[in-house]
Amino acid sequence: KAGVTQTPRYLIKTRGQQVTLSCSPISGHRSVSWYQQTPGQGLQFLFEYFSETQRNKGNFPGRFSGRQFSNSRSEMNVSTLELGDSALYLCASSLGTGGNVNTEAFFGQGTRLTVV
């Protein structure tokens, strides 16, 4: 069974530009979560989508947005890029039933974004 696929793997953008990252979850998984990983802040939750709806959102500015399509693929967008947005962006896929059910999250390889 194919794992979580994130594209592109590497990206270099200039301050002020915008960027779109893509994530294809494991087949049958309906939840996609996004995380930002930086050396200083570690892994921080951005948002989660389930059945095309944003179900949960972390503490990030409105420049960070996302969406999910009917086939569960998800994209995240960052507008007006800042140097501090340089990070590894990780996508996690799960069945996503939430609550007290174990919903193991499987991560993709990540997209390394560098803002110059």
Partner 1 sequence: GEDVEQSLFLSVREGDSSVINCTYTDSSSTYLYWYKQEPGAGLQLLTYIFSNMDMKQDQRLTVLLNKKDKHLSLRIADTQTGDSAIYFCAEKGQAGTALIFGKGTTLSVSS
Binding site for partner 1 (CB under 8 A): 4, 6, 31, 33, 35, 42-45, 48, 50, 55-56, 58, 90, 92, 94, 96, 98, 100, 102-110
* Closest listed residue to residue 36, CA positions, set 76, 77, 90, 79: 90
- The C-alpha atoms of residue 105 and residue 75 are separated, in whole angstroms, by 17
Shortest distance (Å) from residue 41 CB to partner 1:
9
Beta strands in 1-116 (DSSP E): 5-7, 10-13, 19-24, 31-38, 42-50, 53-57, 64-68, 74-78, 87-94, 106-107, 111-115
Nearest approach, Cβ of residue 110 and partner 1 (Å): 5
Looking at the Cβ atoms of 4 and 19, the one nearer to partner 1 is: 4
CB of 100 to partner 1, least distance (A): 5
Nearest CB to partner 1, comparing residues 28 and 42: 42
Helix (H, G, I), strand (E, B) or coil at 83: helix
Strand, coil or helix: 84: helix
**Closest CB 51 distance from partner 1, rounded Å:** 13
| Closer CB to partner 1, 65 or 107, in the complex | 107
